[in-house]
């Protein structure tokens, strides 16, 4: 047996030597036709402007992706309510909010019928309001062995990218653990519990958030009292000494992104994502610290500047660790965001938008409700929620007030209010979406069958109040986000043409070689791909 084996090896070696001598090469292994792992990284509230402003100071993952990827510098969420829930729901669905059913945060993921498991803190959550399919569904339809993992600090950011597809989905609990709801599982897997058990609550107790770079690297003043509502608006920003309080408040600091990335890496290892050469797995990560910090301090603050540099480093460390576990040449990475951010209205009013202000819903609807009261109509039949006017027309029957005359009155009085740019009947917005981007984005937000009567659009940088700085408008500063494809199957380059985040899913589907199972709003971006791969 030993002699026969030795003879076989000798013959094989002689054959290989002969091939070399005559200039031939032994057959090589075929290059993979699809990636082993697709990674979607979404940075919450990350305007594309940050790459323009701070790119020269980036040395981590964002810098790497900009340098090595297909970078689309004019990418937008092409819908009007630019918020976390509708933004995340579009990323892998390839469809606008009007068809995903996730039209605003308030129509998001909260679900009392899906409580958190294993004692997590927070409301129940599920994707039950999501309509249709996502890339995760298309991948599973092509290969039932596909594994999918989605993680974030926020429940809606973890849940909505994969829609209703069976997935491992986890989000952060204020007690320092990642949790999920009964919609997904009955018990936490061992690796999730182990991650929480090895994270001492004392880890962040008393740890201050200080500047990453020397003070001279930041041009923003550190003494703008309107930031953080006038409290703790200068560096350093201390954490509480109490461990449980620190575990909760870590969500308001850059350290939260480190926790999310670390947890995701544990998931890759435990679930063996990207370990099989015969299937493609999916990992989605939403990093939320930029959103919390931006709301509190605004996009022009020293805090937001520092956070952008820190998330660049976090993504760099994450990619380094991922590539140490898996062959980087078999991984496709997509970087984007769920929405941008507008400047603090009071500061914008002093510079680029003199009319910017904080608006009150109560002020706008009061005159209309007074007319209803006089006519004996239930005032609750007129509702304004987040730019939308809803009307219960049945309440006007046999009353001396015509609902359409009331709407006309509301539109006329509201248009006179400082801070209001336009008031439109929703049914009329579809008339000119080609030349009117605001109308187009509103029609992408809601289906034509919804009972929305009117839309109120504020002037640029005006907000409905609440956070120090906010988002949610149809303007480019809220809609423009980064979009970079990198890694397996991607053709490096920089592109200035207008693209939409709904183009991500069909482009990835083409790269992987799977078929969407429904009609999409997005299209394949051929300039991102080395070769247009046929679908199966």
Q: Say if CB 440 and CB 433 are below 8 A apart.
A: yes
Task: Examine the pLDDT at 274 and tell me if it is beyond 90.
Answer: yes
Tell me the C-alpha to C-alpha distance, in Å, between residue 484 and each of 165, 191, 330, 450: 25, 31, 17, 34
pLDDT for the residue numbered 31: 67
Q: Tell me, letter by letter, the H, E, C secondary structure of 28-97.
A: CCCCCCCCCEEEEEEECCCCCHHHHHHHHHCCCHHHHHHHHCEEEEEEECCCCCCCHHHHHHHHCCCCCH
Residue 426 CA from chain centroid, whole number: 27
Give the mean pLDDT of the chain: 93
Query: Which tokens go with 219?
Result: 């041009």
Containing H/E element for 410?
Answer: helix 403-415
Among residues of the chain, what percentage have pLDDT more than 90? 87
The tokens describing 134, both together, are 């996502």
The pLDDT tens digits of the residues spanning 28-87 come to 556 678 999 999 999 999 999 999 999 999 999 999 999 999 999 999 999 999 999 999
pLDDT above 70 for 322: yes
Evaluate if residue 25 carries a pLDDT over 50.
no
The average pLDDT across 345-367 equals 94
Phi, psi at residue 461, to the nearest 5°? Answer: 70, 0
Give CA–CA dist 255/257, Å, rounded.
Answer: 5
* Residue among 254, 294, 318 nearest 49 (CA): 294
CA distances from 359 to 269, 310, 362, 442 (A): 48, 33, 9, 20
Radius of gyration for the chain, computed over Cα atoms and rounded to the nearest angstrom = 26
Helix axes 302-325 and 255-271, enclosed angle (nearest 10): 20
The model's pLDDT over 394-453, given as tens digits with 9 standing for 90+, comes to 999 999 999 999 999 999 999 999 999 999 999 999 988 889 999 999 999 999 988 899
Quick one: which of 487, 528, 532 has its CA closest to 513? 532
More confidently predicted of 10 and 176: 176
User: What count of other Cβ atoms lies within 10 Å of the Cβ of residue 230?
Assistant: 10
Burial 430-447 (b: 16+ CB within 10 A, else e): eeeeeeebbbbbbbbbbe
Is residue 15 predicted with pLDDT exceeding 70? no
Q: Give, in order, the Cα–Cα distances in Å from 248 to each of 120, 153, 205, 240.
A: 12, 11, 10, 10
**Confidence at residue 434, expressed as pLDDT on a 0 to 100 scale:** 87
Contact yes or no for 134/520 (Cβ under 8 A): no
pLDDT(4) > 90 = no
Given a cut of 80, is residue 7 above it in pLDDT?
no
CA 194, distance to chain mean position in Å, is 27
Q: Give 199's pLDDT tier (boundaries 50, 70, 90).
A: confident
Burial of 412 (0-12, 13-18, 19+ CB in 10 A): exposed
Cβ atoms 419, 413 nearer than 8 A: no
| The pLDDT value given to residue 273 | 98
Give me the CATH topology for the region 361-416+420-458.
Gyrase A; domain 2 (3.30.1360)
SS3 196: helix
Contacts of residue 178, defined as CB under 8 A and 6 or more positions apart, other chains included, come to: 151, 170, 171, 172, 192, 195, 196, 263
Q: Band of the pLDDT at 8, cuts 50, 70, 90?
A: very low
Query: What is the rounded CA–CA span in Å between residue 290 and residue 297?
Result: 10
Contact between 425 and 391 (Cβ < 8 Å): no
**CATH classification number, 37-340+474-528, choose in 1.10.10.10, 3.40.50.80, 1.10.560.10, 3.40.720.10:** 3.40.720.10
Question: Where is 383: in which H helix or E strand?
Answer: strand 382-385
Nearest Cα residue to 454 out of 519, 514, 408: 408
pLDDT in tens, 73-96: 999 999 999 999 999 999 999 999
Q: Is the pLDDT of residue 137 over 70?
A: yes
This prediction's pTM: 0.92
Beta strands in 411-501 (DSSP E): 420-425, 452-458, 480-487, 493-495, 499-500
42: phi then psi, degrees, rounded to nearest 5: -115, 125
What b-and-e string marks burial along 114-132, b requiring 16 or more CB atoms within 10 Å of the CB? Answer: bebbeebebebbbbebbbb
Cα 461 to its chain centre, rounded Å, is 21
Amino acid 17: pLDDT: 45
* Annotated domain spans of the chain: 37-340+474-528, 361-416+420-458
Identical fold, 37-340+474-528 and 361-416+420-458: no
| Average pLDDT for 359-365 | 89
What is the per-residue pLDDT for 30? 60
Q: pLDDT band at 5, cuts 50/70/90?
A: very low
Q: Identify the three-state secondary structure at position 3.
A: helix
Tell whether omega for the bond before 19 is within 30 degrees of 0, i.e. cis: no
């Amino acid at each position: 047996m030993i002699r026969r084996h030795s003879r076989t090896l000798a013959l094989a070696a002689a054959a290989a030597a002969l091939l070399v001598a005559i200039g031939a090469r032994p057959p090589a292994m075929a290059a993979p036709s699809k990636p082993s792992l697709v990674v979607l990284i979404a940075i919450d509230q990350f305007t594309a402007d940050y790459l323009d402003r701070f790119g020269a100071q980036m040395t981590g993952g964002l810098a790497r992706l900009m340098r090595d990827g297909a970078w689309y510098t004019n990418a937008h969420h092409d819908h009007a309510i630019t918020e976390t829930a509708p933004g995340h729901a579009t990323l892998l669905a390839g469809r606008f909010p009007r068809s995903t059913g996730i039209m605003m945060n308030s129509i998001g993921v909260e679900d009392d019928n899906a409580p958190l498991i294993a004692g997590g803190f927070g409301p129940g959550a599920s994707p039950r309001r999501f309509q249709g399919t996502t890339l995760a569904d298309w991948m599973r339809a092509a290969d039932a062995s596909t594994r999918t993992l989605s993680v974030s600090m926020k429940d809606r950011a973890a849940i909505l990218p994969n829609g209703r597809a069976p997935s491992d989905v986890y989000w952060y609990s204020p007690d320092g653990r990642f949790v999920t709801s009964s919609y997904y599982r009955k018990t936490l897997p061992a690796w999730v519990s182990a991650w929480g058990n090895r994270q001492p609550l004392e880890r962040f107790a008393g740890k201050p958030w200080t500047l990453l770079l020397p003070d001279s690297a930041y041009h923003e003043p550190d003494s703008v009292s309107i930031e953080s509502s006038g409290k703790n608006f200068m560096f350093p920003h201390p954490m509480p000494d109490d461990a449980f309080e620190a575990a909760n408040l870590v969500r308001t600091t850059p350290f939260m992104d480190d926790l999310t990335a670390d947890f995701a890496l544990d998931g890759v290892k435990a679930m063996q994502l990207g370990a099989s050469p015969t299937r493609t797995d999916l990992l989605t990560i939403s990093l939320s610290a930029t959103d919390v910090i931006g709301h509190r301090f605004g996009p022009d603050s020293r805090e937001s500047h520092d956070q952008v540099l820190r998330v660049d480093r976090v993504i760099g460390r994450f990619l380094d660790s991922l590539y140490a576990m898996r062959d980087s040449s078999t991984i496709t990475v997509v970087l984007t965001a769920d929405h941008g951010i507008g400047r603090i209205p009071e500061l914008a009013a002093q510079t680029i938008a003199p009319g910017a202000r904080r608006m009150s819903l109560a002020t706008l609807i009061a005159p209309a409700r007074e007319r209803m009261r006089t006519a004996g109509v239930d005032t609750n039949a007129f509702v304004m929620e987040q730019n939308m006017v809803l009307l219960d027309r049945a309440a006007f029957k046999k009353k001396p007030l015509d609902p359409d005359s009331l709407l006309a009155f509301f539109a006329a009085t509201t248009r006179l209010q400082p801070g209001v740019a336009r008031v439109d009947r929703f049914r009329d917005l579809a008339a000119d979406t080609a030349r009117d981007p605001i109308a187009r984005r509103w029609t992408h937000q809601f289906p034509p069958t919804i009972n929305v009567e009117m839309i109120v659009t504020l002037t640029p940088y005006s907000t409905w109040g609440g956070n120090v700085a906010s988002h949610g408008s149809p303007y480019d500063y809220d809609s423009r986000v980064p979009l970079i494809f990198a890694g397996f199957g991607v053709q490096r380059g920089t592109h200035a043409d207008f693209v939409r985040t709904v183009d991500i899913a069909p482009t990835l589907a083409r790269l992987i070689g799977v078929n969407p199972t429904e009609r999409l709003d997005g299209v394949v971006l051929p300039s991102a791909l080395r070769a247009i791969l046929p679908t199966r």
